[in-house]
Every structure is written in structure tokens, then in C-alpha cells.
Structure 1
Amino acid sequence: VYESVMDSVAAQQRENVEGQMDFFSMAANNDEKSNSVKEIPLPDIPEFTPEELMTMEKATTGLYLSGHPMDHYRDAVRKLHAPTIVSIIEDFSRENGPERFTDGQRITIAGVITSSKTKTTKNNSLMAYVMVEDDTASMELLCFSRVLETCGAYMKENQAVVVKGRLSVRDEKAPQIMCDSIYPLSTVEGGIPEPQPKQKTAAGETLFLKFPSIDDPAIRHMKLVFQMFPGKSVVKMVMADTRKVYATQALLHPALVQEAQETLGHENVVVK
């Protein structure tokens, strides 16, 4: 749609010298020109869904303007008896200490994932910092390797999720949740699914990674990541300087692919 409109505009501009119009001659021949102006065809396309509009609003402005994705899940949240995120934050902000919640308390919340970032810990295991927000506030989740293995596929931006874990309040920081599980909020209607120990990708998929050289520090880092995701999918590591290719195997888990993209850059990570 966008390309067809732009093609029409470009065609009109080519009829003028370098896309310019003579202002004075336009005024003198206004009636004649007004009859020769071409109409740009605008195709009839369906309206965006509310979810699509909100996703575009968030990407463009950083805010949801026409609503919030959680509006669609109000009944599901009520069934979970999940507290709002702002109620947790405000309770821990009381001068005399929290009254409703406690550090280490098991809790269930619901919200939309707004960001997710993985890192390697000092113990050479993978973890993720995931931000979840409802229509009241946002909270950070700490997700370690066990959770990534079972629930990493659901840690996508704009995914509405139900989160189970333990509250963690440290060093005057905002409350966090040590996550035990994350699942799509849409599963609440049919019951929360059991964790799956392995999440395999389609047969035949290969992960291609491009490294500057065999001596690059990213080699050692990615080898540690491969150890955390054992599997049978082929991983081919291409060295940019020598063009040599080294092969290994791993589980092509979304968390592994994301870690590779953040380590090497999206342009150096291909799955096919």
C-alpha cells in the first residue's frame, strides 16, 4: 500500500523539473492546472485492530495512547486475583513498612512484557531482566536459566503474560520478582500449561553466527551459552577474517538466539 502511493507521488514529481513547480505560472494558469492535477489512488484497506494500534503507538511514542493491551484481559486478571503492580510498589513505599506484601512472598501478577535483556552471570549461567507492566505501573522480573529453558519462548515484547514468583526487595530498590514461570495470559481460560523441559525448534533449522576471528572474546562467551542450551540443532560459526567455518550443536531456544544477537549484532545471526 505504502509503495503504491509513493510510486504515484514519484510519477507526478517526474512530470515537473526535478519535482519543482513554477509558482507564478501556477497562479496564472490556476484554472487550467486544477483540471489536470492527478489523483493519487488510495487503496481501501481494513482498519488496524486495537492491539495493532496500541503496538504502533508504543513503538512510536513509548506510550499506549488509545488504551492498554491489558484492557482485553480484565476478566482473566480477576480470575487470577492478581494485585496491580502499583499496589505492590505503593505498599513497599509506606513509611512504616509494607502492610499487605512481604519480601520473599509468593505472588502472581499479570501484565505486558515491554522489554527483555539477557546477560551471563558470574557463575557462567544465563539470566534475563524482563520488564512487565499493567495499566498501573511496571516491575522488573529476574529470570534465571531454568525459567529461560521452560518459558523463554514467551518472553516477547507486547506479549500479555501471567507471572509467578517471589517478591524481592533489596537496598531500597523498587520491588522485583524472582520469576518461577511466565506464560501467556490467554492460557488462563484453559488452565496454565505445565512447564516443558525442552523447547525444540523445527527440524533442519541451522543457526549461522559470524565472528570477527577465532580469537574474538565472543567465541568463549557463546560457547558458554551453548553449554546452557544442549540440543541437536546445528550451529555454524563463520570467521570473517579466514572464512573458516566451525560447527557445533545446541538447542535453538529463543533466549539463545537473542543472546547471540546482542553479542554479535543482529546482522551476524541468521537462522534458516
Structure 2
Amino acid sequence: FNKSHSAAYAMVSYHTAYLKTHFTVEYLASLLTYEMQNTDKILVYINDGRERGVKILPPDVNESWRDFSVEGSMEIRFGLAAIKGVGEAAIDSIMETREQGGKFQSLFDFCARVDLRRVNKKVLEALIKCGACDGLGTTRASLLAGLDAAVEWGTKRREDSRRGQASMFDLLPALEQTPSLPETPEWPEGEKLAYEKEALGFYITGHPLRRYQAQMQRLTALDTQKIQEVPDKSEVSLCGMVAAMKEIMTKKGARMAFVTLEDLKGTVEVVVFSDLYAQVGTLLKSEVPLFVKGAVDYNDESVKVLAREISSLEQLKLQKTREIHLTVPQDLMSEAALRELKALLEKYPGKLPAYLHLLGSDRKETVLALPPDLEIELSEAFLQDVERMLGASALILN
């Protein structure tokens, strides 16, 4: 029996390795579909795919199928069934409508064509929040702000169609009666990503930790995947965000917590005992990126980190930054843009030297040391203002 069992497992391993090597994208799409209800495994497989050069495309009402699907040579499209709150009936309605009448042109077109009894308001909100309606031509904030009007308009159009009624303007194709969505500014990046995680269980188009990636790499070489290979009882350091937390009372009546720490590669459980929890309990509930020091603990084939020190990654960044670097395409730095940037820097006078990196069309880089009167006082408000003006990728702190 043992030999036959081993032979069977060897064959499965061989087939799996062959498919993963020679049909990487198809294999990964199948794996993601099979594990689509397991958020932790999905996150691991998506990161593995990205490291292999596979691009994971967000869900899209015009492109996605029920399951994860292959698009192009190295692209996988997110499946609609992996969106929380979007059931089989809603998916069937979207796919049937799309196959019969072609792609959806706008939110109003979508609401007029799908069966709103199956694709209800809760489903529509989930589709908007996860980015599945981004292809309908406006911001997620505008889509959500105009959702009630679109549902009402779509319902009326379907009722009129069932009764055989038509507006006189329907007879004149040139006069389009479709209403307009409100012009609402897009949500800040943090809010946008939070809605994505609410709908999908994880981030897909970005990650709040992405802006800290360089700092995280300087602080520790470990992540939630590499820590699985560290010997038991080893001292480790990790960076991440609190994805979930369970607070309990000890026998002595003190509070402690079990924290699910998430980074760019996955999650790991962190045990915060009562003495440390008394110091950092508020910090753990603040949704800020964290720096954790502790010891690895292997138990029942799972890995935990027994924390002995927890601090704010943001505070560490503010304390340890010695220089500020701003990188922008040279063709975007018009005279007006330079004046606007100068005014922003003057709002935060301090002692940190700043450098402006101008990227030419030929990717050549010109570095300008800004004068002493434009030295900076680093703060969260400054970081947010720079990100709004230049984007998160423009800012590097050394």
C-alpha cells in the first residue's frame, strides 16, 4: 500500500510541476479559481504569479467571467465569483446580458439591461467598490454617488419596455436621454483601497504598504512568507498592517490579543501578551503600518510571532528620515507647476534637505538640490499633500 500511495503522489507532483512550468498562466488561473474563497491562499498565489511576471487584472463587468480567466500571454482576469456579496444569480444575469447585448457602456446602461432583482443594490455597491465598474467611464466615487439615480432610471426603463411604452425621444437616436452621473472627486487612495479590501478580502490595484516598501526593506529582510522558513525561537522583525485582531482576557483579568499581521506577501499571526498590549493596544486599533519585533513560535504546524516590541512604521520613518527626494517627469514641470510645488514646500519649513529629480523623455535624470529655504519639516500632512500633487511613487525618503 505504501509504495502505491507514494507512486500516486509522485505522479500528481510530476503533473503539477509540468503544468506550472509549461502552462504557468493557465495553471495559476485554475488554482486561483479553486481557492477563490480562501483569502490567505489567494494572496499567496497572486504574489507568486506577480513574481513570475503574471499580471493580475482587477474584476471588470465587461471582461470578467465567473472564474479567473486567462487574458493575453501573461495576464489573468479576476473572476466575478471571488467578489464578496456577488452571488451566482447576479453573475448569471451579468454574463447573459453581456452575451446578448454586448458590453455595457455606462452605469445607466448597465442598470437598464441587467435584472435588478438579481443584481441588487448591495451587489452593485460591491462591484463599484472593488473596481469592476471602472471601465464604465468615470470614477468609483461618481459611480457610487449616482447609483440610486441609475437604479431608478434603469428600473423605469425596464418597466416601460415590459409595458411596450417608449419615450418619443427613443425614436430619435441622435437625442440620447441617458442622465449624467454627478462629478464627484475620486476617493483618496487609502479609502479606495479600503473599499477594495471590503469587497475582495484583500487589495488588488495597490496596497497601503506600497509607499513604505523601501523603508520596510531597510528595516527587515523578512516577510510573512520567508518567516515560515526561520528556525523556531529565532528573533525576527516584521512590517505590516493589522488585518484582524481578537482580544481576550487572561486568567489574571488583563487583556491580550491575537493579531493577524498582513504585509505585501501574505499574513502571519502575532501574539501580543498583556504587558505589551497595555502599551500598544490603541496603536493596534489605529490601522497604521507597524514594525514588530519578536520570537518565532512553531505550534501545530503553524508559525506565530510572539511580540516583544511594536511601534508605528510612520513614526519610525519620521524619526529616521535624513533626506527627501521628489521624482517627476521633466515635461510636467511647467512654470506654473514649479510655483505650485514651491508653495507646497514652503508650507512645511524645517531642516530636512530636499532634492528634485527631473526625468527626461530619454529617461535621463537631472537631480537638483533645493535651496536651504526649501528644507522640509516631515509630517503626515506633508506626505499627503505631496501624494495628492505628484502621486505616491514620486516621494522617496532616505
TM-score by length of 2: 0.39
Contact 2:288/2:314 (CA < 8 Å) preserved in 1?
no
In 1: Cα distance, 2:283 partner to 2:198 partner: 19
Unaligned 5+ segments in structure 1 are 92-100, 193-272
- Which residue of the partner structure matches residue 31 of structure 1? 171
After TM superposition, list the pairs within 5 Å mapping 1:43-54 onto structure 2.
43-54=182-193
Range with bigger deviation, 43-52 or 140-149: 43-52
In 2: Cα distance, 1:134 partner to 1:4 partner: 31
Q: Does 1:81 align with 2:220?
A: yes
In 2: Cα distance, 1:42 partner to 1:173 partner: 52
Contact 2:160/2:166 (CA < 8 Å) preserved in 1?
yes
- Which residue of the partner structure matches residue 252 of structure 2? 123
- Which residue of the partner structure matches residue 108 of structure 1? 237
- Which residue of the partner structure matches residue 120 of structure 2? none
Aligned residues: 178
Root-mean-square deviation (Å): 3.3
Contact 1:55/1:158 (CA < 8 Å) preserved in 2?
no
- Which residue of the partner structure matches residue 302 of structure 2? 174
In 1: Cα distance, 2:303 partner to 2:217 partner: 22
SS of corresponding position for 2:236: strand
Counterpart pick for 2:271 among 119, 142, 148: 142
Given residue 50 of structure 1, which amino acid in structure 2 is its aligned partner?
A: E
Relative to structure 1, is the Cα distance of residues 142 and 40 closer, same or farther in structure 2, using a 3 angstrom cutoff? same
Contact 1:132/1:139 (CA < 8 Å) preserved in 2?
yes
1:16-49 CA-partner distances (Å, limit 9, x unpaired): 69x8315433288732698583x53422222233
Cα displacement (A) at 1:12: 5.7
Counterpart pick for 1:5 among 146, 165, 170: 146
SS of corresponding position for 1:21: helix
Counterpart pick for 1:65 among 196, 204, 224: 204
Contact 1:115/1:157 (CA < 8 Å) preserved in 2?
no
Contact 1:107/1:164 (CA < 8 Å) preserved in 2?
yes
- Which residue of the partner structure matches residue 181 of structure 2? 42
Percent pairwise identity: 21
Counterpart pick for 1:56 among 195, 215, 228: 195
Contact 1:116/1:157 (CA < 8 Å) preserved in 2?
no
- Which residue of the partner structure matches residue 164 of structure 1? 293
SS of corresponding position for 2:166: helix
Contact 2:209/2:264 (CA < 8 Å) preserved in 1?
yes
Cα displacement (A) at 1:61: 0.9
SS of corresponding position for 2:146: helix
Given residue 184 of structure 2, which amino acid in structure 1 is its aligned partner?
A: I
Given residue 106 of structure 1, which amino acid in structure 2 is its aligned partner?
A: E
Given residue 275 of structure 2, which amino acid in structure 1 is its aligned partner?
A: R
Cα displacement (A) at 1:8: 4.4
Q: Which one has more relative contact order, counting CA pairs under 8 Å at least 6 apart?
A: 1
TM-score by length of 1: 0.55
Relative to structure 1, is the Cα distance of residues 79 and 114 closer, same or farther in structure 2, using a 3 angstrom cutoff? same
Given residue 84 of structure 1, which amino acid in structure 2 is its aligned partner?
A: D
In 1: Cα distance, 2:242 partner to 2:152 partner: 43
Cα displacement (A) at 1:149: 1.6
In 1: Cα distance, 2:277 partner to 2:305 partner: 15
In 2: Cα distance, 1:6 partner to 1:67 partner: 24
Higher strand proportion (structure 1 or 2): 1
In 1: Cα distance, 2:185 partner to 2:272 partner: 39
In 1: Cα distance, 2:145 partner to 2:306 partner: 49
Cα displacement (A) at 1:83: 1.0
Given residue 147 of structure 1, which amino acid in structure 2 is its aligned partner?
A: L
Cα displacement (A) at 1:71: 1.5
Cα displacement (A) at 1:189: 1.8
Given residue 128 of structure 1, which amino acid in structure 2 is its aligned partner?
A: A
After TM superposition, list the pairs within 5 Å mapping 1:174-193 onto structure 2.
174-191=302-319
- Which residue of the partner structure matches residue 270 of structure 1? none
Contact 2:169/2:175 (CA < 8 Å) preserved in 1?
no
Relative to structure 1, is the Cα distance of residues 10 and 145 closer, same or farther in structure 2, using a 3 angstrom cutoff? same
- Which residue of the partner structure matches residue 97 of structure 1? none
Range with bigger deviation, 75-84 or 25-34: 25-34
In 2: Cα distance, 1:133 partner to 1:55 partner: 14
